[in-house]
């Protein structure tokens, strides 16, 4: 079969006053049998092209590296500890509880063997104050459309309460454990198609009630794009609701459980704000007047005072605040210092009282704490070692190693560097570079460059289990902390969105040029990879600079930036990319939208697109259309697209699926970048 003979059934339409041709509109409809046949044919081509001896070798190694214990930090709760763990012979993590640190693990929910393909997974969970109850959301096939179940840990009984359609729902239990607050999406069929993941609303569920009788707390007549976060005061009186339409600002409303009233706390501030309730005060994390965020405070009596009258509790520092955790005595703040973690400890008066010791070039892998407990747990990992969990022992005041994952590499054989380069406008941008110590700096090393650059997300050091087999063979892996991310505060984020989106692409292009100029690699041995917004990144860059790269892997990408808001939850992203229904925004988008900048006759580097049939975040139509237009541009273009079935955007995949897609990617890059087996 000739992969370049993809049928064209294009349309021309007027969008915001601009005539736009869409050659492959027909590939949008996965319900069309012809589209399904096209997808299946492309999968066969990928299998015949990439499932060779290299694929088998990579698969065997990845299985070995993957079959290890994986665990979360325990969450302490009045003598009980809740955590997730995946054993070497399991595909999915199991939710456990222990009574006491040395207690026997008790299964709360085991998703393994719930279906023949092991595609059921736990999306989130939350225990009640005493730990008597735990609520957990599960979904299937990676679609992330969760149903919440509730278990009594004393009796090991699953209650009859089932809360359906709760995608990424926050959960907050009342202190008396009589019920919980949660966020709920509409039933399919009650809203227009493609909007099932929107229309989020806050409800209260009383244990024992049917979901249909749950009380609507917030969301009536609100914009369908609302994203919701919840927090609850220790006495259960105040429910804080962070309501956002964008990644750059949000409002806060308070629901008073005594008066049953909802009042605005901060509306229209045009900053990021997050409220947190302590026993004696209310904290507000915000970048209002502080690019790197600061923390303000107020009393409960004065909670509704204007923002300008709140007291500064912890001033802004030169490093950006990443996360905050609270114990009964301490406030633990994770800062990012040049994209690496630093944890500073404060008391309840806002005084710095210490730091948690962390290795160089490492990342905090979560802090598990309870505002009514002294002890807490935290995880650390880096490029050189997988996660190690530590426990703060309030009796000895020491940080004690609690649990570690076996390290499959010898750290002494590898090197991690952070190097800075200048982007096209002179902006200094950092990049992590990870490789064996014994590589030759001859400009010929097979090298992969990764980036994301969007939504204020940060890219920090992490153990890359899926890339061990690449790096151990002399391959280089680099991560560029490009604009659009949040590594250096909100200005770094806003410097890579909307009319400044090209900065993100330029930063990535100049990272590639730096790797070449410093003799790490050359354009015949350099590949790029990114997923989701990072898939958009590498698709755009691969089209803009086709001679700079030897191969491009674009995972679950956005590519058609004229039509992206029309599908699923993507309407929430217009504040990041611009709104194509506004002519001025559309004119800017058309300058960099990957799908609209492919030029007929141009020889592009080999592309591998990966997507999944149940992806409810980024519709797989983007990957299909982009692959097809690159195929049609030049018969010599080597374009592959692989669609996973019974899989989603990423979470919830069994080991077999993770290994298959990663082995395809490794084989693709091995073929085009010259990695030697």
pLDDT digits (tens, 9 = 90+) for 202-213: 999 999 999 999
**Token pair recorded at residue 36:** 């399904």
pLDDT at residue 386 greater than cutoff 50: yes
Give, for 224, the enclosing helix (H) or strand (E): none
pLDDT per residue as tens digits for the range 460-491:
999 999 999 999 999 999 999 999 999 999 99
pLDDT of residue 107: 96
CA–CA dist 272, 286 (Å, integer): 5
Range 245-254, long-range pairs (CB < 8 A, 24+ positions) = 245/572, 245/575, 246/572, 246/575, 246/576, 247/455, 247/456, 247/493, 247/575, 247/576, 248/272, 248/456, 248/490, 248/493, 248/494, 248/497, 248/575, 253/218, 254/303, 254/304
CATH class for the region spanning 413-673: alpha beta
Question: Which residues sit opposite 416 in a β-bridge?
Answer: 434
Calculate what percentage of the chain has a pLDDT beyond 70: 99
pLDDT of residue 117: 85
pLDDT at residue 530 greater than cutoff 50: yes
All structural domains of the chain with their residue ranges = 67-225, 413-673
Instruction: State the average pLDDT over residues 572-600.
Output: 97
pLDDT at residue 553 greater than cutoff 60: yes
Query: Do residues 165 and 176 touch, judged by C-beta distance below 8 A?
Result: no
CA–CA dist 93, 655 (Å, integer): 11
The verdict on whether 649 is a catalytic residue reads: yes
Closest Cα partner for 646 from 235, 155, 262, 91? 91
pLDDT of residue 352: 98
pLDDT of residue 103: 95
Closest Cα partner for 455 from 497, 505, 503, 501? 497
**Token pair recorded at residue 578:** 């611009």
Instruction: State the average pLDDT over residues 86-106.
Output: 95
Q: In 50-200, at which residue ranges do the beta strands (DSSP E only) sit?
A: 70-71, 75-77, 80-86, 94-99, 106-109, 120-127, 133-140, 147-152, 157-163, 171-173, 179-184
Please pick, among 199, 575, 649, 672, the residue that the annotation labels catalytic.
649
DSSP state of 199: -
Tell me how crowded residue 601 is: count the other CB atoms within 10 A of its CB. Answer: 6
Please pick, among 231, 423, 532, 663, the residue that the annotation labels catalytic.
532
pLDDT per residue as tens digits for the range 219-275:
999 999 999 999 999 999 999 999 999 999 999 999 999 999 999 999 999 999 999
CB contact set of 60 (below 8 Å; sequence gap of 6+):
none
- What does pLDDT average to over the chain? 96
pLDDT per residue as tens digits for the range 103-152:
999 999 999 988 888 899 999 999 999 999 999 999 998 889 999 999 99
Average the pLDDT over each of 159-163, 261-265, 529-533, 643-647 and give the range with the smallest value.
643-647
Q: Which residue has the higher pLDDT, 295 or 7?
A: 295
- Residue 4 pLDDT class (50, 70, 90 cuts): very low
pLDDT per residue as tens digits for the range 9-54:
689 999 999 999 999 999 999 999 999 999 999 999 999 999 999 9
pLDDT of residue 10: 83
pLDDT at residue 3 greater than cutoff 70: no
Q: What is the dihedral of CA 44, 50, 52, 56, to 10 degrees?
A: -100
CA–CA dist 595, 588 (Å, integer): 14
What is the CATH code for 67-225? 2.130.10.120
pLDDT at residue 5 greater than cutoff 60: no
pLDDT per residue as tens digits for the range 594-635:
999 999 999 999 999 999 999 999 999 999 999 999 999 999
CB contact set of 230 (below 8 Å; sequence gap of 6+):
170, 171, 172, 181, 183, 202, 239, 240, 241, 242
CA–CA dist 6, 8 (Å, integer): 6
330-337 and 133-140 strand pairing: unpaired
pLDDT of residue 307: 97
- Residue 193 pLDDT class (50, 70, 90 cuts): confident
pLDDT of residue 431: 98
In the block, residue with structure tokens 């607050």: 181
């Amino acid at each position: 079969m000739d992969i370049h003979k993809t049928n064209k059934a294009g349309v021309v339409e007027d969008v915001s006053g601009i005539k736009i041709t869409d050659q492959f509109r027909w590939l949008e409809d996965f319900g069309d049998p012809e589209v399904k046949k096209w997808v299946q044919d492309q999968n066969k081509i990928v299998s015949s092209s990439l499932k060779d001896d290299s694929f088998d070798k990579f698969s065997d190694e990845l299985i070995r590296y993957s079959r290890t214990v994986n665990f979360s930090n325990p969450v302490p709760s009045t003598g009980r500890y809740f955590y997730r763990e995946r054993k070497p012979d399991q595909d999915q993590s199991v939710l456990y509880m222990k009574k006491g640190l040395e207690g026997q693990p008790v299964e709360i929910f085991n998703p393994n063997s719930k279906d023949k393909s092991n595609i059921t997974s736990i999306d989130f969970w939350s225990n009640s104050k005493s730990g008597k109850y735990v609520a957990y959301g599960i979904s299937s096939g990676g679609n992330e459309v969760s149903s919440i179940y509730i278990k009594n840990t004393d009796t090991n009984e699953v209650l009859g309460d089932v809360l359906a359609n709760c995608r990424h729902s926050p959960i907050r239990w009342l202190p008396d454990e009589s019920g919980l607050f949660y966020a709920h999406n509409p039933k399919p069929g009650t809203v227009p198609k493609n909007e099932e993941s929107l229309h989020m609303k806050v409800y209260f569920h009383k244990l024992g009630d049917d979901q249909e009788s749950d009380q609507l707390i917030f969301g009536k007549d609100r914009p369908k794009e609302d994203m919701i976060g919840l927090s609850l005061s220790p006495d259960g009186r105040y429910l804080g609701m962070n309501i956002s339409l964008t990644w750059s600002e949000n409002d806060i409303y308070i629901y008073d459980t005594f008066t049953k009233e909802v009042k605005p706390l901060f509306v229209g501030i045009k900053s990021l704000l997050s409220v947190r309730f302590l026993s004696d005060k209310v904290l507000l994390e915000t970048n209002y007047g502080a690019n790197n965020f600061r923390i303000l405070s107020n009393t409960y009596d004065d909670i509704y005072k204007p923002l300008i009258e709140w007291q500064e509790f912890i001033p802004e520092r030169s490093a950006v605040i990443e996360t905050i955790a609270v114990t009964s005595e301490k406030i633990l703040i994770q800062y990012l210092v040049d994209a690496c973690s630093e944890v500073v400890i404060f008391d309840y008066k806002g005084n710095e009282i210490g730091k948690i010791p962390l290795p160089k070039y490492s990342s905090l892998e979560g802090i598990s704490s309870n505002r009514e407990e002294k002890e807490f747990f935290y995880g650390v990992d880096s490029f050189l070692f997988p996660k190690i969990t530590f426990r703060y022992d309030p009796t000895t005041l020491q940080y004690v190693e609690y649990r570690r994952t076996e390290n499959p590499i010898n750290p002494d054989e590898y090197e991690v560097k952070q190097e800075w380069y200048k982007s096209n406008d002179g902006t200094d941008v950092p990049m992590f570079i990870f490789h064996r110590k014994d590589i030759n700096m001859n400009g010929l090393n097979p090298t992969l460059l990764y980036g994301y650059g969007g939504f204020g997300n940060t890219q920090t050091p992490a153990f890359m289990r899926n890339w061990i087999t690449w790096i151990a063979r002399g391959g280089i892996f680099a991560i560029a902390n490009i604009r659009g991310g949040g590594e250096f505060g909100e200005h770094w984020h806003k410097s890579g969105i909307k009319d400044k989106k090209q900065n993100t692409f330029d930063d990535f292009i100049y990272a590639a040029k730096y790797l070449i100029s410093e003799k790490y690699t050359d354009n015949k041995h350099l590949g790029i990879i990114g997923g989701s917004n990072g898939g958009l990144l590498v698709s755009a860059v691969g089209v803009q600079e086709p001679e700079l790269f030897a191969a491009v892997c674009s995972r679950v990408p956005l590519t058609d930036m004229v039509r992206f808001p029309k599908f699923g939850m993507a309407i929430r992203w217009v504040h990041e990319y611009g709104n194509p229904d506004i002519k001025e925004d559309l004119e800017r988008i058309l300058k960099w939208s990957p799908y609209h900048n492919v030029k007929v006759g141009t020889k592009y580097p080999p592309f591998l697109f990966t997507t999944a049939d149940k992806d409810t975040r980024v519709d797989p139509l983007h990957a299909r259309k982009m692959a097809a237009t690159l195929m049609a541009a030049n018969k010599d273009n080597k374009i592959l697209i692989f669609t996973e079935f019974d899989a989603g955007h990423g979470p919830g995949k069994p080991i077999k699926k993770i290994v298959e897609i990663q082995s395809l990617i490794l084989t693709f890059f091995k073929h085009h970048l010259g990695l030697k087996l």
